[in-house]
Amino acid sequence: MSDKDDAEIMRGRLRSERINSLFSEDELIEDYYDQPAANDSSCWNDYGLSTLQSSGTVSCSSSMHSGSTEGLDASTQLLPIIKAGWLDKNPPQGSYIYQRRWVKLDADYLRYFDSEKDTYSKRFIPVTSIVRVASIGDQKFEVITNSRTFAFRAESDADRNEWMRTLQQMVDERKFKGLNRISLFQPPTGALDSVDKCGLLELRGFKNKLYVVVAGEKVFLYKNAEDYRQGIGITYIEMNVGNVKDVDRRGFDLTTPYRIFSFSADSDQEKDEWVEAMQQSIAEALSNSEVAEKIWSVEANRFCADCGSPKPDWASVNLCVVICKRCAGEHRGLGPSITKVRSLKMDRKVWTEELIELFCQVGNSVANQFWAANVPPSEAIHVASGSQERRRFLIAKYKEGKYRRYHPLFGNQEELNKALCATVTTSDLAETQSLVFCGAEVSCFSGDPDFPNPIALAEQAGQKLQMEFLLHNKNSEIPRVEAGSSEEKHYSVILPSVTHNGFLYKTPSMAKLVHERKSREEFSRRWCTLNDSIFSYYENDRNAVPNGEIKMEEIVCLVNNPPDTHGFESTFEVYIESERLYLFGLDNPEAIWKWVKSIAKSFIHPRADELLSHDFERIGRLQYKGGLNLERAKEGWFALSQSVLYAFFEDSDKEETVHLKKLQELSIQGDSLVLVERRRTLYIQGERKLDFLGWVAAIQKAAGSSGDTLSEQQLTESDIPVIVDRCIDYITQCGLTSEGIYRKSGQNSKTTGLLEMLRKDARRVRLKEGEHHVDDVSNTLKRFFRDLGDGLFTKEFCQDWLKAAAVENEEEKIGQYRQLLSSLPVVNRATVKALINHLYRVQYFSEMNQMNTHNLAIVFGPTLFQTDGKDYKAGRVVEDLISRYVVIFSVDEQEMRKQQDEIQAIIKMRIAGSSSGTQQAGDFICTVYLEEKKTEAEQHIKIPATMTAEELTFEILDRRKIETKEKEYWSCFEVNEREEAERPLHYSEKVLPILHGLGTDSYLVVKKQLSMENMLIYLASRVSDSKHGMMKFREERNLLGLGLSTGFHDRYFILNNSCLRLYKEVRSVKQRMPAVETSHRPEKEWPVKNLKVYLGIKKKLRPPSCWGFTVFYENEKHEKQQWYLCCDTQMELREWFASFLYVQNGGNVWPSESSKVRASRTQQDSRLGNISLIPLRGNENEMRNSVAAFAADPLTLLRNV
């Protein structure tokens, strides 16, 4: 038998055993011959895959499901295929075991696959790593790289020669391009450019870990780190078709249309970092490449102008250079007066046709002939250069103009200006660039009054590109060499000169946070000086040479530790940019505070010096993002003092405060600390891990409950402890009719556990029916008040309250109560009112719960005054406060009416619940539809009092086992059939009050909110918080017959944070918005909080377009109005509706990623069995009838479901 036949038999046998994996037998043989090292844990052993092959479950359960990619491959293939075809591949040592492979060659890689339908390769070889291609006879040829040789066999000599010719041509072209650029850029071979994340990950189905690299828009898989350095990989994944999904504690899936890659990291933190890196890669891949492709059409623009990285997707629009992401970050540090950085893919609005053409004509080639004309090879940077190297080079290149080609007129201002005025009338852009950046003034006087400056001259001459260049450089700084080491400063301001000196005790610098206590023996005594923005420490006060120095511009954070944190009474920590921590101490608190204030004053930006007026514990600079515009992180200065975070933001000149104990949410998302207030969300990020971890820990501690007094608890916006608010809200909704509420004790173990959870972080605790019994919650509330350190009424005024209870004169007694109430601290006063208001409601239901005012006083008197029942006057005080609640707390008529409405709603709910005999307190059953109103889409849901619209949506989706995909926005809608309109409920809205208000022609439906993505994009891109413009307006005739009853009329509207204004005069449109507000009084004005905005207008009104709203307005007197608005386009409708949502919800339009995670659902009440819950609709009698029918025959109401 011939060698060829033998090989064919072997090939057939092995192909029949092949499994669905990224590796096959030839890779194993290659490893056996090529890398015999036995101790390398990252290498594949010769039996690793055989084990997988012997398992019958691998091929069907593998996480990387292979499948046909026919019709899809083209969409993900970014580079054109230069050559493709079948080749036989064997190990380079000459074995006869051949494997037939589908081989593809593009501009970057030579890859081979199992078949032509596969998307992911078995191996890829970068063209840049190929040294040469050689023939070895018998239709065979070798591809030789720096590290290994790959042998292939073609069908014929002609086919082999064609492959060799094509490959060699590619290699030669790459070498030629590399030689042209080798003098300035010298990237290392093998390694990828601009790596965002790399390291070892487990891949399900394989024994050993893979080396995974996230770089730009791709994720690369390598067998090990050595292969990565050599550039020889397994496959890469185009992330424009990828999606990352969190699976379990350390696992996550990278899903594509072709395979699912199931990865597992070593830790939770590692997993989060990998997920974040891959999500960033997806975002980058999905951005618009149209501009980039046009600019890359010029050869020089395909590589970074500064370091030479390929495919740079950022640019400096005033310098006309295309740069990579890493250089772009350093460009930003130079400031917008020197370089204006924009993305080729994301900042689409910036890229006009003129600017794109300017980059095609100038770009990196012309720009570097000027900026990099004299770069010494020793100072040039390359792909692998670090941040410090890049920053130093870019400052020298663009800020100082160290390497530029000087214009012959340099230094002669008058001649430079004249030359510029002459050049802009021509098409010589290189000359214009040279003149401008050698000192010619863009706004100089031309001598012609009709065309007074170079911009006007260029416009008159029709030179659009000259105009474009001049406009972008109108305020550009001219390069100049500054004395000293100014290039190392991260901001171009003069810091105040502070002088201070004295002895301090110092530990060696550290690279991690100090968690353990440092003893006195670990500190060394040093003479320290602060002078000329340099902190120096010496062996003693006689030494002239310092042991070390800290430059003030390097400091990013300063921490004043609590007393006795370490061996010395007072200590402080200094964090610097290079991720080092310095710890200093003394036994003199005043001396330490002077050092802290002196250092802080030396490194804090002058515009943020107001932060120094606070007794801060931590101060420094951090990156932040705010609002909906989250594209770019900005720099802010922050100071933490007790539970208040003070901040100076980049775009504000005044100090802002964040009350950490009043946050609605505090969480970590990726590399951001998210602080959610009522009207804004703040994302804080750290450029450096060391100081950021310290900030996170400090803010989390400050935002938590820190003691046993009321003011030290987490608080609501109304200054009520969250613990109290949570318990009162739950009992109000679920336990007002529960017999013996507050008298019964509940289970002690459950009470202790619940109180512990609430004290730890009350914000995170959600009290739910089925999980928490009302008696456990009521007992928790009582125990919280009983254990308060200073008591609810405070130790200072406690006896005065008890004395006031003994006063016989009614008016005098009430007067004393009011005076004592006003003397309480703010938090205590708000809590007393909230609690007494709650008890006032409880006694309203005394016929059902057997807890009248007297009984409540007996329970709460000893609890609130902490008397253990020894003083009967404690109960008298509580009884007086409840019975005289309206008078003592000055409750007005409107507030009383609101409370009565709530009580009536609860009574209605109780009647329905008691009739069914199956519901706990707080239950309400309704019908919710999925996507449309039809019988088969009905879902009968039990609605707890605390359920939000988001929770209801997830409940419906979970029942139908519907998985939400990325960029799918499922919401619950309130549909009004009579008005032919619908309203998406805000995700945090409570569902129960909405159900009580629904008419017979209204219902709830869960469906996708198709316009939400466009609305979020609009909100993120708009400049102002207000919205104004023309709409068609029609007012519904009211009961008196007044109002516009026919036709729609043009009106001008302004929507701001507080109100919606209507202007009758159309001419006011021509004025600017502020002028409208000041010079024209609105015809009508409505508070935004009182508006309900529905999408849609009933057809019988004959609206002028189908893009309209129906708006309901109800004032404080419960007077109602209804009117209609029409827009000209769907886009206008979306923008107006998005603005309404933004204003009415304080900017919080859609939940953050963390809140989208579906919580585990409460088990169905066992008393209900598996039968669907009854839909209760209509009035009270109808509900009773429904319950009676169900009791007689449970299947009657459910046969058609």
DSSP string, 651-678: T-SS-EEEEGGG-SEEEEETTEEEEE-S
If you average pLDDT over each of 172-176, 441-445, 1044-1048, 1062-1066, which comes out highest?
441-445
Phi and psi at 400, nearest 5°, equal: -100, -20
* Nearest CA-CA partner of 326 in 301, 305, 295, 345: 305
Q: Which of 11-25, 172-186, 292-306, 391-405 has the lowest mean pLDDT?
A: 11-25
Same domain, yes or no: 1026 and 1129: yes
User: Is 70 exceeded by the pLDDT of residue 498?
Assistant: yes
Give the pLDDT score at 1099: 85
Same domain, yes or no: 976 and 1029: no
Q: Is residue 943 part of a domain?
A: yes
Give the pLDDT score at 872: 80
Contact 1084, 1062 (CB under 8 A): yes
Same domain, yes or no: 137 and 215: no
Provide the strand spans (E) within 58-184.
83-90, 99-105, 109-113, 123-126, 130-137, 140-145, 149-153
Residue 768: which residues within 8 A CB-CB, separation 6 or more? 944, 946, 1162
Q: Is residue 407 part of a domain?
A: yes
* Nearest CA-CA partner of 1049 in 1126, 1112, 1106, 1161: 1126
Give the pLDDT score at 561: 93
Give the pLDDT score at 14: 36
Contact 345, 322 (CB under 8 A): no
% of residues, the chain, pLDDT over 90: 22
Contact 253, 270 (CB under 8 A): no
Contact 952, 943 (CB under 8 A): yes
Mark which of 979, 1010, 1041 sits at the end of a domain. Answer: 1010
How far is the first Cα of the chain from the last one, in angstroms, to the nearest whole number? 73
Same domain, yes or no: 297 and 276: no
User: Is 50 exceeded by the pLDDT of residue 1170?
Assistant: no
Contact 933, 1003 (CB under 8 A): yes
CA 88 vs. chain centroid, Å, equals: 49
User: Is 90 exceeded by the pLDDT of residue 367?
Assistant: yes
If you average pLDDT over each of 117-126, 759-768, 952-961, 1116-1125, which comes out highest?
117-126
Same domain, yes or no: 474 and 623: no
Average confidence score pLDDT of the chain? 78
Give the pLDDT score at 936: 72
Same domain, yes or no: 392 and 414: yes
Q: What is the DSSP string of 274-301?
A: HHHHHHHHHHHHHS--HHHHHHHTSGGG
> CA-to-CA distance for 110 and 125, rounded, in angstroms?
5
> CA-to-CA distance for 486 and 753, rounded, in angstroms?
58
Q: What residue type is 981 in one-letter code?
A: A
Query: What is the arithmetic mean of pLDDT over 469-477?
Result: 88
Token pair recorded at residue 666: 């505090």
> CA-to-CA distance for 896 and 844, rounded, in angstroms?
13
User: Is 90 exceeded by the pLDDT of residue 20?
Assistant: no
Give the pLDDT score at 1080: 62
Per-residue pLDDT reduced to its tens digit, 811-855: 898 898 999 999 999 999 999 999 999 999 898 888 888 899 999
Name residue, tokens 């949570």: 726
* Nearest CA-CA partner of 313 in 285, 278, 333: 285
* DSSP for residue 26: H
Mark which of 1104, 1125, 1144 sits at the end of a domain. Answer: 1144
Per-residue pLDDT reduced to its tens digit, 776-789: 999 999 899 888 88
> CA-to-CA distance for 22 and 19, rounded, in angstroms?
9
Give the pLDDT score at 1182: 42
> CA-to-CA distance for 1111 and 134, rounded, in angstroms?
78
Give the pLDDT score at 1072: 42
Contact 660, 702 (CB under 8 A): yes
Contact 963, 1194 (CB under 8 A): no
For strands 981-984 and 970-976, give the pairing.
antiparallel
Give the pLDDT score at 215: 85
Counted domains in the chain: 8
* Nearest CA-CA partner of 122 in 143, 141, 100: 100
Name which residue leads in pLDDT, 489 or 482.
Answer: 482
Same domain, yes or no: 510 and 610: no
Mark which of 596, 616, 640 sits at the end of a domain. Answer: 596
Contact 114, 24 (CB under 8 A): yes
CA atoms within 13 A on the CB side of 524: 11
Query: What is the arithmetic mean of pLDDT over 789-802?
Result: 88
If you average pLDDT over each of 188-192, 410-414, 1107-1111, which comes out highest?
1107-1111
Same domain, yes or no: 971 and 1117: no
Give the Cβ contact number of residue 860 at 10 Å.
Answer: 26
**Interhelix angle 798-805/873-883, nearest 10 degrees:** 80
CATH number at residue 525: 2.30.29.30
CATH number at residue 811: 1.10.555.10
* Nearest CA-CA partner of 699 in 624, 783, 765, 641: 641
Per-residue pLDDT reduced to its tens digit, 1091-1102: 999 999 988 888
558 to each of 499, 549, 696, how far by Cα in Å? 17, 16, 14
Token pair recorded at residue 646: 């003070």
CATH number at residue 985: 3.10.20.90
Q: Is residue 35 part of a domain?
A: yes
Confidence tier at 385 by pLDDT (50, 70, 90): confident
* DSSP for residue 561: P
* DSSP for residue 399: I
Q: Is residue 898 part of a domain?
A: no
Give the pLDDT score at 96: 61
Q: Is residue 142 part of a domain?
A: yes
Token pair recorded at residue 383: 């792909």
Contact 724, 783 (CB under 8 A): no
Domain that holds residue 297: 288-487
> CA-to-CA distance for 421 and 428, rounded, in angstroms?
12
CA 163 vs. chain centroid, Å, equals: 49
Same domain, yes or no: 1111 and 967: no
Give the pLDDT score at 627: 56
Q: Which residues pair with 976 in a beta bridge?
A: 981, 1002
Q: Is residue 1167 part of a domain?
A: no
Provide the strand spans (E) within 1009-1101.
1027-1035, 1049-1055, 1059-1063, 1084-1087, 1091-1095
Give the pLDDT score at 177: 60
> CA-to-CA distance for 722 and 715, rounded, in angstroms?
5
Contact 351, 344 (CB under 8 A): yes
Give the pLDDT score at 65: 34
> CA-to-CA distance for 546 and 526, rounded, in angstroms?
10
Confidence tier at 1157 by pLDDT (50, 70, 90): very low
> CA-to-CA distance for 761 and 664, rounded, in angstroms?
11
> CA-to-CA distance for 688 and 693, rounded, in angstroms?
9
Same domain, yes or no: 724 and 835: yes
Give the pLDDT score at 72: 36
Token pair recorded at residue 173: 């072209």
Per-residue pLDDT reduced to its tens digit, 555-573: 999 999 999 999 999 999 9
Same domain, yes or no: 653 and 694: yes
* DSSP for residue 398: I
Give the Cβ contact number of residue 242 at 10 Å.
Answer: 22
Give the pLDDT score at 192: 54
Q: Is residue 1159 part of a domain?
A: no
Q: Which of 216-230, 407-421, 642-656, 1181-1195 has the lowest mean pLDDT?
A: 1181-1195
Residue 1017: which residues within 8 A CB-CB, separation 6 or more? none
Q: What is the DSSP string of 685-727?
A: E-SSHHHHHHHHHHHHHHHS--SSSGGGS-B-TTS-BHHHHHH
Give the pLDDT score at 614: 92
- R_g over Cα of the chain: 36
Q: Is residue 588 part of a domain?
A: yes
Q: Which of 81-90, 165-174, 630-639 has the lowest mean pLDDT?
A: 630-639
Contact 567, 522 (CB under 8 A): yes
SS (H, E, C) 839-853: HHHHHHCHHHHCCCH
Q: Which residues pair with 140 in a beta bridge?
A: 137, 153
Contact 547, 509 (CB under 8 A): no
**Interhelix angle 774-786/748-761, nearest 10 degrees:** 60
Same domain, yes or no: 586 and 731: no
> CA-to-CA distance for 158 and 163, rounded, in angstroms?
9
* Nearest CA-CA partner of 736 in 634, 839, 883, 857: 839
Per-residue pLDDT reduced to its tens digit, 157-173: 889 899 999 998 888 88
